[in-house]
Amino acid sequence: MSDDTLPPRPLEPSAIAREAHEDAPTNPSGNPTLGDMIALRFGRRDLLKGLLGVAAMGATLAPRAMESALAAPAPQGGTASDRFAFPELTAAPDETIHVAQGHEAHVLVRWGDPVLPGAPAFDPQAQTPAAQAMQFGYNNDFVGFLPDPQGRPDRGLLVVNHEYTNPELMFPGIGPQRVKNGFPGMTRERVDIEMAAHGGSVIGIVREGGRWRLAPVPQARRITATTPMLLSGPAAGDDLLKTQDDPEGRNVLGMINNCAGGMTPWGTWLTCEENFNLYFMGKAEGHARERAFKRYGIPAGFFAWGRYHDRFDIAKVPNEANRFGWVVEIDPVDPASVPRKRTALGRFKHEGAGNVVNGDGRFVIYQGDDQKMDYVYRFVTARPYDPVNRAANRDLLDEGTLSVAVFHPDGTGEWRPLTFGTAPLVPENGFTSQAQVLIETRLAADALRATKMDRPEDVEVNPRTGKVYVMLTSNDTRKEDETNAANPRAANVFGHIVEITPNGGDHAAPAFTWDILVKCGDPSVAEVGATFSASTSGYGWFANPDNCAVDSQGRLWVATDGNSAKSTGRTDGIWGVETEGDGRATAKRFFSVPVGAEMCGPYFTPDDTTFFVAVQHPGESEDGRLSTFDDPSTRWPDFKDGTPPRPSVVTITRIGGGPVGG
């Protein structure tokens, strides 16, 4: 979920509050930024080039980007394209999806499609909370696939996060809903529909004739903002988690703003609460936890929920906000299981839960805190994963060590543990327990002098090489004197990708080395300082990396959030990015979304023959065009009068079979 742009576009009404609250920096610490580290590592010549790029950006980017995107030369042959053997996508931005030649893309499930038995057919003109709680939710983000437990290759379960809602696109007759204008179109019923549209879905799918479709399964489930959940791990039961309705501090209703996620090897779904601060109203001034609340951007009041539900007003229920911002573990196989918020993994704006079983058997999860100037984290379980006893892994994520990344200027780095009682996480500095360290993770990471990053989003592990890829979407607030840097640039509107190599291949090691895979932006504009390889065509470069996936062959696929037709000549989509050999840093365009949409989800079946992607908020206002339910910029995927655009999950397969992408 993001509204950073290339370059900053006029704020559409639906994004005004998010621009102010979602990813604006809340980190007042003096910790070194990643730009500081890169400046020291790469020197003054690159620094000067980067600063020139900032000055030239506004004058050159948009027209040059459009020219290179719509009149680009064909990609060159050679080793750069060897692992991505598909003709590069060259489609111009429009109202629908496009995929590279030799592949086909089909909508699998849309907002409002039935999930549970007895769910009514979708009627956008007559929505109700009860109907939405049985139907596929809004703004699908992370997608995970769980193969059929009986080993049938053409069946499985799909788990999908529902991140947030766009009321101006969901409901007829209203415009953008803003904090400033008092939510003029919202009602209690519409708020309750929004709450039911959040959370996640578990759906059954079956492949017939080479094409996937929905299939009824007993595991089908809708999880919403009111689903009962348990808080578990070191912070569970702490005074900061107790409320009048939950005096034990262990039971919470629902999950919200679930962005990226991950799947565990024991078959559970890790879904990550991201911009939870947007849902809380009230005032932080004078609050007992004022410092921590402000560090998390609470309250933001982007949604009107606090008007009708006291728990989203911090003046009425002071601790409710502390009960969100966690990684939630869900068992898709058991629809009666209670989701658990795993507090050992820390509380922040989680983006992703990329993971790997370490060589010593312990389970390792990498996480990004999706805000400008925030951090990258790692969690290592205390005991090993048991591959033959699923039940033994049930509470594996309740014990372990959470650490935050520090990047040094010589290309090395270290993981600093967030462990209470070790300096500086001691009472003299305001830390009273491990529970507080985890509930107020950002403050603890500040104290450890973690490296400020440019909006760390998805973090994924390459299972073949062991390297870890960090998507850094953008940071247009970075000042020149803050970065002293060539990369990522001051006013970094393009983003970049950092590659981490664990020392000795040990993901639990305290140290690592790091490098930059690519600095994003248009490489044909020299001042921008993008570092795609020379084999990347005019269609192949991209900006604002967000989510990513690594297939079984070890190929990196990057999804973007922030490209727009006006500023870059392309919509968001999927790019294949080479990480090895002579073709390193070569990118190739594979898939594109409709105007206004964000690319999310990417997830492969184990054999790479199906690629699941999520198209989020199609038709969202951009480039100054106000898009609403009644007058949207696209009506994808139905293209029917009176039917609004519908966030959807799409399947991509290769015509004739075989691995997607060649």
pLDDT (0 to 100) of residue 65: 39
What CA–CA distance (Å, rounded) separates 44 from 497? 21
Q: Check if the beta carbon of residue 152 is closer than 8 Å to that of residue 142.
A: no
Region for residue 639 given its phi and psi (left: phi exceeds 0; alpha: psi -120 to 50; beta: otherwise): left
- Which among 278, 512, 275 has a CA at the least distance from the CA of 374? 275
Mean pLDDT within 72-98 = 76
pLDDT (0 to 100) of residue 484: 34
On the question of pLDDT at 158 being above 60, the answer is yes
On the question of pLDDT at 63 being above 60, the answer is no
pLDDT in tens, 169-208: 999 999 988 887 899 999 999 999 999 999 999 999 999 9
pLDDT in tens, 427-449: 999 999 999 999 999 999 999 99
How does DSSP classify residue 71? S
Share of the chain above pLDDT 70, in %: 88
What residue type is 125 in one-letter code?
Q
pLDDT (0 to 100) of residue 33: 62
pLDDT category of residue 137 using cuts at 50, 70 and 90: very high
pLDDT category of residue 80 using cuts at 50, 70 and 90: very low
Share of the chain above pLDDT 90, in %: 79
pLDDT (0 to 100) of residue 226: 98
pLDDT category of residue 34 using cuts at 50, 70 and 90: low
Q: Pairing between strand 228-232 and 340-342?
A: parallel
pLDDT (0 to 100) of residue 10: 30
Question: What is the rounded average pLDDT for all residues in the chain?
Answer: 89
DSSP 380-400: EEEEE--TT-GGGGTTGGGSE
On the question of pLDDT at 512 being above 60, the answer is yes
On the question of pLDDT at 533 being above 90, the answer is yes
Mean pLDDT within 317-345 = 98
On the question of pLDDT at 26 being above 60, the answer is yes
What CA–CA distance (Å, rounded) separates 420 from 435? 9
Lowest average pLDDT, out of 149-153, 297-301, 532-536, 625-629, goes to 149-153
For residues 60 and 591, which has the higher predicted lDDT (pLDDT)?
A: 591
pLDDT (0 to 100) of residue 70: 39
pLDDT in tens, 219-247: 999 999 999 999 999 999 999 999 999 99
On the question of pLDDT at 66 being above 80, the answer is no
On the question of pLDDT at 134 being above 70, the answer is yes
For residues 74 and 438, which has the higher predicted lDDT (pLDDT)?
A: 438
Domains of the chain: 13-654 (2.120.10.30)
pTM above 0.85, yes or no: yes
pLDDT in tens, 538-569: 999 999 999 999 999 999 999 999 988 887 88
pLDDT category of residue 12 using cuts at 50, 70 and 90: very low
Instruction: Give the tokens for residue 353.
Output: 């839960």
Mean pLDDT within 469-474 = 94
For the stretch 291-296, contacts whose Cβ atoms lie closer than 8 Å and that sit 24 or more positions apart, written own/partner, are 291/443, 292/439, 292/440, 292/442, 292/443, 293/321, 294/26, 295/26, 295/27, 295/28, 295/440, 295/442, 295/443, 295/446, 296/26, 296/321, 296/325, 296/348, 296/442
pLDDT (0 to 100) of residue 36: 53
What CA–CA distance (Å, rounded) separates 364 from 384? 10
Lowest average pLDDT, out of 80-89, 131-140, 146-155, goes to 80-89
pLDDT (0 to 100) of residue 451: 93
On the question of pLDDT at 486 being above 50, the answer is no
What CA–CA distance (Å, rounded) separates 420 from 464? 35
Mean pLDDT within 344-369 = 97
Q: Which residue has the tokens 């109700």?
A: 128
pLDDT category of residue 32 using cuts at 50, 70 and 90: low
pLDDT (0 to 100) of residue 35: 53
Instruction: Give the tokens for residue 158.
Output: 């799909």
Q: Check if the beta carbon of residue 218 is closer than 8 Å to that of residue 326.
A: no
pLDDT (0 to 100) of residue 482: 67
What residue type is 414 in one-letter code?
E
